Amino acid sequence: MGKITLAIHGGAGTILKANHTDELEQNYTAGLQEALDAGYRLLENGKSSIEAIEASIKSMEDNVLFNAGRGAVFTKKGLNEMDAAIMEGKYLEAGAVTGVRNIKNPVSLARKVLEKSGHVMLSGNGAKDFALQEGVEQAPDDYFFSKYRYDQWVEIRDTDFYQLDHKEDNLKHYDKKFGTVGAVAVDQNGNVAAATSTGGMTNKRFGRIGDSPIFGAGTYANNKTCAISCTGHGEFFIRANVAYDISCLMEYKGLSLNEACNEVIHSKLKAFGGEGGLIAVDQNGNHELCFNSKGMYRAFKNSDGESSLAMFGE
């Protein structure tokens, strides 16, 4: 029986202790712990990595604190449009949905895409038809309403800014905090899997899709190398092919998980102007929680008895 490991993130960005009341910090701690426990319990009971990561992601999608599912941000038109992806590393099977509305748990719809659609990625109304066909749980618009996200949107809805505008002089409009959620795991059989779910960016326009549902950019899994879920400024992660780049450095250049993650996040992506981070595991149960932003909501646990939960930079 191999070593099991689960890692999760709840987004990266300008996550500073100074911006967190004690209560908020406690709420994030509780939310991350709950999500970690939900997935790890399954791994311990011999379930697959894909089941474990779905459980962890669902827990965060149901928690209004995170920008995914219930807590998804608002688009320019005041809607909640979500992206999600899930991939397993044994057969490289994958499923993703983009720009979906009124789906309670987009990660579960992504898993249905993987298992039942015969396709890899479904978008918007088509994804919704598929969800109806498969009996995937829907939720009304007001389920996705939160005052915090609404106020964030109201502040910038009459501008062309979107929430990930990084220029310092735009800080008024942008708190540089990404709230996407992700999970990666390796199970007792040595199979890895990765999933990511997000509301994208506040005030996003024109059906914008981020890196999260794009395999090789924000999400990727391959038993030969690793499973990865990213968070950060999606446009950069897409252009830099972050997740697949790390996998390639391991597969073709023989880098370790640690070396490959550091190379891409701290050298390549940073030089490119991209901010954010990722979580990753390999078949041997090694894990990485790697970011070039001020902080990242993150946690991990493994069967060597190791675990951690943190938000801020060292």
Catalytic residue among 5, 75, 180, 196: 180
198 binds ligand ASP (CB under 6 A): yes
Segment near ligand ASP (CB under 6 A), from 119-127, 142-150, 173-181, 299-307?
173-181
178 binds ligand ASP (CB under 6 A): yes
Pull the structure tokens for residue 257.
């998980």
Q: Which is nearer to ligand ASP, 47 or 204 (CB)?
A: 204
CB atoms within 10 A of CB 199: 29
HEC secondary structure over 171-189: HHHCCCECCCEEEEEECCC
User: Site for ligand ASP (CB under 6 A): which residue of 95, 234, 274, 285?
Assistant: 234
User: Site for ligand ASP (CB under 6 A): which residue of 31, 106, 190, 210?
Assistant: 210
203 binds ligand ASP (CB under 6 A): no
> Least distance (Å) from ligand ASP to the CB of residue 91?
26
> Least distance (Å) from ligand ASP to the CB of residue 83?
6
Instruction: List the interface residues with ligand ASP, window 9-48 (CB under 6 A).
Output: 11
Q: Which is nearer to ligand ASP, 214 or 255 (CB)?
A: 214
59, 68 contact by CB (below 8 A)? no
179, 10 contact by CB (below 8 A)? yes
Site string for ligand ASP, 62-91 (x = CB under 6 A): -----x------------------------
121, 139 contact by CB (below 8 A)? no
277 binds ligand ASP (CB under 6 A): no
Active site residue 14: no
Burial of 240 (0-12, 13-18, 19+ CB in 10 A): buried
Segment near ligand ASP (CB under 6 A), from 29-37, 102-110, 195-203, 256-264?
195-203
213 binds ligand ASP (CB under 6 A): no
Longest Cα–Cα distance of the chain, Å, equals 56
In degrees and rounded to multiples of 5, residue 183 shows phi and psi of -150, 145
Integer Cα distance of 224 and 117 in angstroms? 26
Integer Cα distance of 132 and 103 in angstroms? 10
Q: How far is CA 291 from CA 31, 210, 265, 295, 309, in A?
A: 20, 18, 6, 7, 15
Q: Got the DSSP string for 164-230? A: T---GGGGGG---B---EEEEEE-TTS-EEEEEEE---TT--TT---STTSBTTTEEE-TTS-EEEE
Segment near ligand ASP (CB under 6 A), from 123-131, 151-159, 198-206, 247-255?
198-206
229 binds ligand ASP (CB under 6 A): no
Alpha helices in the chain (DSSP H): 22-44, 49-61, 106-112, 124-134, 147-156, 234-239, 242-253, 257-262, 269-272
Segment near ligand ASP (CB under 6 A), from 21-29, 86-94, 128-136, 208-216?
208-216
Segment near ligand ASP (CB under 6 A), from 17-25, 58-66, 174-182, 240-248?
174-182
Catalytic residues: 180
State the residues that interact with ligand ASP by CB under 6 A: 11, 67, 178-180, 198, 200-201, 210-212, 218, 231-232, 234
